Structure 1
Amino acid sequence: MAKPNKKLPSKSVNIYCNNCKFKLFKYKKGGKGALLKCFKERIVEDFTLVPCICPQCETIFARDTLVNGTPAFKIIGNKAFCK
């Protein structure tokens, strides 16, 4: 299985909670696809106090997992979106 590239993508997106629109992460996203997972090494700014929980509405928006041996947050369907 392939690991994410060490060189960060140039495209930076903001990830928001779908429930209360609170800004959760500033993330270096590669590709044009939907937001399924966030590799921890690509998170530039983290605005959460507790991992995977929105600080404003306390909704669980992701699960802490390993994807191909790399630590990541796997986004639960339709709980977070990126702009």
Structure 2
Amino acid sequence: MTNTILRLPIVLKERGRSRSAHYQDIQQGLFTHPVQIGLRAVGWPYCEIEAINAARIAGKNDDEIRALVVKLEAARKSVI
């Protein structure tokens, strides 16, 4: 399931966050930006959701989460 792209309702359930809190996290660099999957559709790679949730569970602070988000978004560019 690592290559799966999840749409917003599932992402919110996986994270346990509201829609507004989710988008606020994106603005603050605490969650990855969505990927375009259609003309008017976006989603998030499941592996990124897993990684950020695991970091939260491990007790990482916001600065460490931001660094992880930067790393995850940079890794998107290296996929063929």
Q: Normalising to structure 1: TM-score of the pair?
A: 0.30
More helix per residue: 1 or 2?
A: 2
More strand per residue: 1 or 2?
A: 1
